Amino acid sequence: MKKNKMSAPLLCSVFLFFVALFLWVFGVYVVGFTGHSYMVEWQFFSLCSSDWSLPVIIDYTSIIFSCFVCLISGSVSLFSVSYMEGEVFMRRFMMLIMAFVGSMNLLIFIPSLITILLGWDGLGIVSFALVIYYQNKKSLAAGMLTVLANRIGDALLILSICFLVNWGEWRIGYGMTGSFSLLICFLVVVGAMTKSAQIPFSAWLPAAMAAPTPVSALVHSSTLVTAGVYLVIRFYSTMVEVQEVLWFLSKVGALTLLMAGLSACFEVDLKKIIALSTLSQLGLMMFTVGIGFPLIAMFHLLTHALFKALLFLCAGSIIHSTLDTQDGRILGSLNYLLPFSGSCLVLSSTALCGMPFLSGFYSKDLILESAFMGFSGSLEILVMLAGAGLSLVYSMRILLIGVFGQSYGSSLVNYSVESGYMVVSICILAIGAVSGGWLLQSVWIGVSGFSLVGVLGKVVISIVTFMGLFYGLVNYFLLEVFSKKFFKSLSWFLSSMWFMNLLSGSFLASVGLKLGKMMHLHLDLGWMEILGGQGVFSVLSDGVKLSYFMQKGSLLVYTRIFLIFLIFVLVSGVFLL
C-alpha cells in the first residue's frame, strides 16, 4: 500500500521532467533559432463587436518559463516522495500539485485578460488548498490571509476587464491605447502587486510558510509569486504608453526590495528568511520592469526560480533530517551533520548573492548595469543598491547561523541522512543553479548583449556583489557590539516588515471577515432574503393558491371571475374611447 501511494509522485515527476525536456528542445530549436512567435486562437462567439476567443501564444518567453515551471515541479514531486513519506493522502497532495502546474501553464500561454482569469483564479484556489494542507490553526489563518489578499487582485482584474469593453479587445498586450487606458493599466498593475506580495500586500507571503516545504519550494519561490511579475511583463507593451503606472511600479518595487531585505536580516526562522529573500527579489524584478527593462526582469525571474527552489529544498531537507527544526538559533554545524544539504545550501546562497559565473550573477549584473544606464532617479539607484547589497547580508546570515555556526540542538541520535530521492532532486536543481544563467544567456539573444557602463558603475557593482564578505567579518568579530549600537531602537521596526503584518495582515483579515459577517447578516439574511429567495417563494405560493382557487370547479367561483373580467374589459374600453 505504501509503495502504491509513493508511485503517484514518482510518475508525476517523470512526466514533468519529460515535458520540461520537450519544451526546452522545442523552445530552443524551433522557436529560438527561427525567431518566430506563434498564436493559435479559437473563437467561441462574437458579442457587442467583441470577439470571445481563447488565444494561445507560443513564443520564447512562454515556452522557457513553462519549461522551468515543469522542471521545478518535477524536482519538488521527486523531493516529496521522501519528505511526505508518512502522508496518508499522498494522491490528493499530488493532484493539488498537478492542478497548480496546470493553472500556471494556463496563465503563461494565454495573453487574453478575460481568459487569463481561469489560470489566475486556479492559482489562488489551489494555493489556498496547499497552504491549509496541515489543517491546524496556524495554517488555516495563513490560508485565509493568502486567499483574502489574492481576492483583491481578482476583483481588480475583473474591474479592468469591465473597462476593457470600451476597447472591444481583451488582449491588451499589443500596445493599444484608448479611453480608460491609465485606469486599466493601474488596475492590472495593482492586481499583479497583490499576487507578487508587493507593499502594502506583503504580509501573506511569510505567513504562507505554514505550508509543507515542497509547497513552499514550488508555490512561493518560482510560480505563484512570480505570476504577478509575469502578468506585468506580458502586458508591458501597453503599459509603456502610460509612464505614470511604470513610475509607480518602480517606486513600489524599490520599497519592497528594501523592506524585505532589512526584515530578512533580523528574522530567525529559516523558512521565513528564505521567504523574505523571495519577496526582496520580487521587488527587484518589479523595479526592473518599472525602469523599462522587462526582458532582463524575465531573465532574472527564471534564474531566481532555479536557485530559490534549490534553497527551499535544501532547507526542507535540513528540517526533515533534524525532526522539524527550523529555528536558526538552534540549527548549526550542518557542514558536519548534513554535508550534502549544507553544501547545496552554500551553493544556492552564493548564487543568490550574485557570485560570478553562477546563475544569479548573469541576471543580477544585468539589472545593476541597466539601472545605471536607465533614466531612473539617484534615490532609486541608492535604494536599489542597498537592497541588492542586503541580499548578500541575509545570505551570509543563513550560512553563518545554519551551516557554520554552533549547534544548540538535541543529540545526534535525532539526525537522519538524506534519502536518494532528496539527493537526486537537489542535484537536478543544483546543476540548474550553476549553469542555468549561462545556458539561458547563450540561447536567449535578447539578454546576451553588452551594456555600456562606466568604470564607476563597474566598481560600485563589484562592491555590492562582494559586500557580504564584510558582513561576515563583522558578524564573526563584532556582532553583539554592532547590533546593540546601531540597531537597538530600530530592530523591532525592521524585524516586523515595517509593520506590514498590522497594515495588510491583521487589518485585511479582520476587516474582510467582519465585512463578510455583516453582509451575511444584513444582506444574505436580511432584505436580499426578503426580496430574493423568501420573497419569490411567498409570491409564487400565493399565485399557486390563487390559481388553485380559480380552478376549483365551483359555479359560484366561475361567476365571480366572469363578472370581474367583464368589469375590467368595460372599464378599459371606456378609458380607450
Mean per-residue pLDDT, 512-538 = 72
DSSP code of residue 87: -
- Confidence grade of residue 128 (pLDDT, cut at 50, 70, 90): confident
Question: Is residue 282 a contact partner of residue 191, using CB atoms and an 8 Å limit?
Answer: no
In this structure, of 28-42, 227-241, 498-512, 539-553, the range with the lowest mean pLDDT score is: 498-512
Cα→Cα distances 427→169, 215, 222, 344, 357, Å: 46, 19, 18, 8, 18
Residue-wise pLDDT tens digits, 145-201: 888 888 888 888 888 888 877 766 776 666 566 677 788 888 888 888 888 888 888
Confidence at 488, pLDDT banded by 50, 70, 90: low
pLDDT of residue 1: 42
d(CA 286, CA 290): 6
Closest CA to 278 of 261, 297, 296: 261
**3 state SS of 112:** coil
Q: How far is residue 341's CA from residue 95's CA, in Å, rounded to a whole number?
A: 28
Does the pLDDT at position 489 exceed 80? no
d(CA 110, CA 510): 35
Average pLDDT over every residue of 254-279: 84
What is the rounded distance in angstroms from the CA atom of residue 412 to the CA atom of residue 409?
Answer: 9
Q: Which range is most confident: 143-157, 317-331, 400-414, 534-548?
A: 143-157
pTM: 0.81
Is pLDDT of 287 > 80? yes
Q: Residues, the chain, total?
A: 577
Of 76-90, 181-195, 454-468, which gets the smallest average pLDDT?
454-468
Q: How many Cα atoms occupy the beta-carbon half-sphere of 75 within 13 Å? A: 33
pLDDT average, residue stretch 302-322: 84
Q: Phi first, then psi: what are they for 331, rounded to 5°? A: -65, 160
CA distances from 390 to 65, 76, 277 (A): 27, 28, 9
The mean-pLDDT minimum among 48-52, 163-167, 380-384 falls in 48-52
Distance CA 278, CA 474 (A): 25
| Among candidate residues 499, 495, 480, 484, the one with its CA nearest the CA of residue 266 | 495
- Give Dmax over CA atoms of the chain in angstroms: 108
Grid cell in block for residue 159: 474591474
Alpha-carbon Rg for the chain in angstroms: 29
- Domain segments of the chain as ranges: 1-412+422-481, 526-575
The residue among 264, 266, 339, 338 whose CA lies nearest residue 308 is: 264
User: What integer is the mean pLDDT of 59-78?
Assistant: 87
pLDDT in tens, 197-219: 888 888 888 887 777 778 888 87
250 versus 418: the higher-pLDDT residue is 250
**Helix/strand/coil percentages in the chain, nearest 5:** 75, 5, 20
The answer to whether the beta carbons of residues 497 and 200 sit under 8 Å apart is: no
Region 23-51: mean pLDDT is 75
Distance CA 532, CA 490 (A): 55
CA angle 224, 229, 233 (to 5 degrees): 135
More confident residue, 458 or 439: 439
Question: Looking at the predicted structure, is the pLDDT value of residue 4 above 70?
Answer: no
What pLDDT score was predicted for residue 78?
A: 87
Q: Which residues contact 394 (CB under 8 A, 6 or more apart)?
A: 261, 264, 265, 273, 276, 277, 280
What per-residue confidence (pLDDT) applies to 295?
A: 85
Mean pLDDT of 59-84: 85
Tell me the β-bridge partners of 41: 55
